[in-house]
Chain A
């Protein structure tokens, strides 16, 4: 099939979706409020953070994943995730998030055997 050519960089993927070890926070909501801000994602509707080592995430693009279609790969293993969802948006872009922990397989897009786009949780 046609290779979808990625514009997203690996570095951006990591900045947006990988947090390992998981940043300290007293609870998942506080975690999300902190991370969405610190990663420059304030008021984004939803975002998933992966807490596994980078080599395990990168492996999805090689031996650790199965091609779904084009350059989208499904991970063979489950990952430790925190999913952040926007629940309120206050004045001056003060956005509040809810976080939930999940252990699930994920689908990412790869280019040059590097993950560059987070597609979805499976």
Chain B
């Protein structure tokens, strides 16, 4: 595992912001961190970056403790903060070069290539850029360094829809280049689009960790019975009592499901991909 959190806990006074979170991220894996405001997403990311000292537990990045060996850990990660503030007295290029020099690297022609894809002029002073443009510059600074892990806190804030798509494409490219990506977001379909796994936080606790491939195979089946409901489901497992309505999750081959539905006394039926929304709702209501 590239990034490992083991019982990671952070208290602010009496308030527990993160509660014994354990999570691992493999190289090249894209993991989405979901949860409403105050669920502990940003605290988790800040612990991984060594900004905060854990109250209990540890986080390691490539084997380096994120607090006690923070510099070694940060050599292997780039970070896009949620509340973006840049050095306004610089141009985009100056900022990327400055941050690159702090990493001991001088960014090359890839800056211009990526800037072109993101549709920004890196030589424009940041003071003259809109918040969306600044976010693109920050993305540039995050994506240019060759590091194994990219951490992004609500990265698509203030990006227009076209740039959101471009950003998601950049994440896919990063993944293909072998980079792991951990990002927090409120936008479920973005997470669905690029993530390999999704972690859902609730009141500081990791309440759900889901493999997206598994999620893509899952279907939600709903409908209304015109007769007595069956005792077993399409997978042969017993069904809970149903009051005339069908509502189940199904993971398995589609023909078996269709054959089972064909045998049921249904007046209507609806089969849809499971999607993140249903899972998210389970923990956070309407997400």
A and B are partners in one complex rather than unrelated chains: no
